[in-house]
Amino acid sequence: MLDIQYIRDNPKLVKDKSQQKGYKVDVDKLLQLDQDRKKIQSELQDLRAKRNSHSGSLAGVKPSDQQISIGKQFKEDIAKLEDLLGPVDQQFNELLKTVPNMPLDDVPVGDSEEDNQVVKTVGEIPEFDFKPKNHAQIAEAKGWLDKTRAAKVAGSRFAYLKGDLVLLDWAMNMFALSKLTDQQFIADLVKANNLNISSKPFVAVQPPAVAKTKVFEATGRLNKEEQTYKLEDEDLWLNASAEHVLAPMFLDEIVPIEELPIRLVGYTTAFRREAGTYGKDMEGIFRLHQFNKLEMEGFSDSETGLGEHMLYIAIQESLFTALELPYKLLNKCTADIGGPNARGVDIDVWLPGQGRYRESHTADYMTDFQTRSMKSRYRDEQGNINLLHTNDATVFSQRPLIAIIENYQTKDGDVVIPKVLRPFMGGREKI
């Protein structure tokens, strides 16, 4: 959540930036509750000090009836103030949670994803001497995809992935893991992008697939209505992406600065409701309720947080370049970056089967918005305690798999394997 002191100092800016993000926030009411809360807390602190002083003066002495009466009065007055503080404190915290993170200065102002700015377009759109098929047509013909049987078992928007498609998925992930855990690969990207940050490699993680309500809420990512599944009779929610369970890894912890940056690459099966989707998004594996995802999550100090964000984007671009997939890099606008984000970038990959670019990757920089709620901190070299800054970014999900199938399809219905993935496919050139 946002620092209340920042809101006190910049009420108009917070109103304007929240509105730019599409959030209706009653900043005036929040600040009034803040004043009421501070007043009650001050009175409570004063009363408790007087009570403690009174109790101290009676140490080893038998109290008189008047002294007992004074002590009882202190207790009653304190209880009344505590009862008064409870609802005010609750309203204050609930309203504070509705305030989104403030976008950085280079985030374009916009009302929808249509206002996202194209930073660059990379790669050539493939030309075919036949009408290209979409990934669902190819995968079903090859026996790689079975949604009919999956529907009998689990309902709509689930799928059985089989055979070479599963092998290709794992080859893609193993290729990415081999890069992210290679310090030289990271060092080369840091140097190439003139980043003043560490060349530390990523640590591979398989995290839990579920999180408690309070923990999930602290990340700012719990979307009950549209996205997140809850386990019945349990205080647990299924992750909708690996960063949702990686971000709270250092909940209520203080990390020594020598351990920073902490860079994690986590693999989970993710679950999303994906309410309201239709048309081509329903075909094949483009938008399922269950999918596999490899995700970057990072923790850094405040000085290097933005540099980490740029590194994550550079990693995404490097992997796309290696796969030789055409894509667009987008600087997301205020309305599209999400509540917890200070900055967000999308990569949209070209899908010949749809004849357009579709979102495949995202990279999010949250500053200290998440860690304030999670109380995830670091101790600097002077011994001061500061909030960590967090980043997350897609490595691979099933969208790049779709892009490989469609961009590398042949007239015969086969799929050529990208060169960088062939060592992970036993040297095969196509499937």
CATH code assigned at 50: 1.10.287.40
pTM: 0.92
CA 361, CA 51: separation in Å to the nearest integer? 58
**Mean pLDDT of all residues in the chain?**
94
Q: How many CA atoms lie within 13 A of 283 on its CB side?
A: 13
8: CB partners within 8 A, 6+ apart: 31, 34
Same domain, 118 and 50: no
Q: How many helices (H) and strands (E) does the chain have?
A: 13, 15
pLDDT at 276 over 90: no
Residue 137 backbone phi and psi in degrees, to 5: -60, -45
> pLDDT-based confidence at 54, cuts 50/70/90?
confident
Do 130 and 65 reside in the same domain of the chain?
no
Q: What integer pLDDT is reported at residue 67 of this predicted model? A: 87
Please check whether residues 196 and 152 belong to one and the same domain: yes
* pLDDT for the residue numbered 57: 82
Both 227 and 333 in one domain: the answer is yes
Domain assignment present for residue 101? The answer is no
Nearest to 96 by CA among 24, 23, 30, 190: 30
Reply yes or no on whether the pLDDT at 226 is more than 90: no
**pLDDT band at residue 63 under the 50/70/90 scheme:** confident
Over residues 117-125, the mean pLDDT reads: 96
Looking at 96, 129, 149, the residue that finishes a domain is: 96
**E-only strand ranges, 143-273:** 145-146, 160-161, 203-205, 210-212, 236-238, 254-256, 262-271
| Assigned domain for 430 exists | no
Last residue of a domain, one of 32, 65, 96: 96
**Considering 96, 122, 150, which residue would you say is the last residue of a domain?**
96
**pLDDT for the residue numbered 60:** 77
CB atoms within 10 A of CB 255: 16
Q: Is residue 186 part of a domain?
A: yes
Say what the pLDDT of residue 274 is.
79
Tell whether 217 is covered by a domain: yes
Q: Is 304 found in the same domain as 225?
A: yes
Residue 147 and residue 83 share a domain = no
pLDDT tens-digit series, residues 80-112: 999 999 999 999 999 999 999 999 999 999 999
Residues 286 and 364 in one domain: yes
311/297 Cα distance (integer angstroms): 12
Q: What's at 393, amino acid-wise?
A: A
User: Among 142-151, 220-229, 237-246, 276-285, whose mean pLDDT is lowest?
Assistant: 276-285
pLDDT, tens digit, for every residue of 236-246? 999 999 999 99
Distance CA 3, CA 407 (A): 46
Local confidence band at 277 (pLDDT 50, 70, 90 cut-offs): low
What band does 349 get if pLDDT is binned at 50, 70 and 90?
A: very high
pLDDT of 228 higher than 70: yes
For residue 104, being part of any structural domain is answered with no
Identify whether 192 is part of a domain: yes
What is the pLDDT averaged over residues 378-404? 96
Is residue 105, in this structure, part of any structural domain at all? Answer: no
Mean pLDDT of the region 394-400: 95
Classify strands 203-205 and 262-271 as parallel, antiparallel or unpaired. parallel
Question: Do 73 and 213 fall within a single domain?
Answer: no
Look at residue 112 in the predicted model and tell me its pLDDT.
93
Q: CB count, 10 Å around CB of 29?
A: 12
pLDDT at 278: 64
**Contact 274/268 with Cβ under 8 angstroms?**
no
Percent of the chain with pLDDT over 90: 90
| Local confidence band at 115 (pLDDT 50, 70, 90 cut-offs) | very high
146 and 79 belong to one structural domain? no
Three-class secondary structure of residue 150 per DSSP: helix
Please give the tally of structural domains in the chain. Answer: 2
Q: Give the whole-angstrom CA distance, residue 281 versus residue 289.
A: 12
Instruction: Indicate whether 227 pLDDT > 90.
Output: no
pLDDT in tens, 137-181: 999 999 999 999 999 999 999 999 999 999 999 999 999 999 999
Q: What percent of the chain has pLDDT over 70?
A: 98
Q: What is the CATH number of the domain that holds 354?
A: 3.30.930.10
CA 374 to each of CA 60, 227, 301, 369: distance values in angstroms, whole numbers, following the listed order: 44, 21, 15, 9
Considering the domain architecture, whether residues 292 and 200 belong to the same structural domain is answered as yes
Q: Has residue 225 got a pLDDT over 80?
A: no
Q: Are residues 138 and 197 in the same domain?
A: yes
Strand 327-331 relative to strand 236-238: parallel, antiparallel, unpaired? Answer: unpaired
Is residue 84 located within the same domain as residue 130? no
Give pLDDT tens digits for 296-337: 999 999 999 999 999 999 999 999 999 999 999 999 999 999
Question: pLDDT class for 279, splitting at 50, 70, 90?
Answer: low
Check if the beta carbon of residue 103 is closer than 8 Å to that of residue 365.
no
Q: Is residue 108 part of a domain?
A: no
The domain containing residue 282 runs over which residues? 113-425
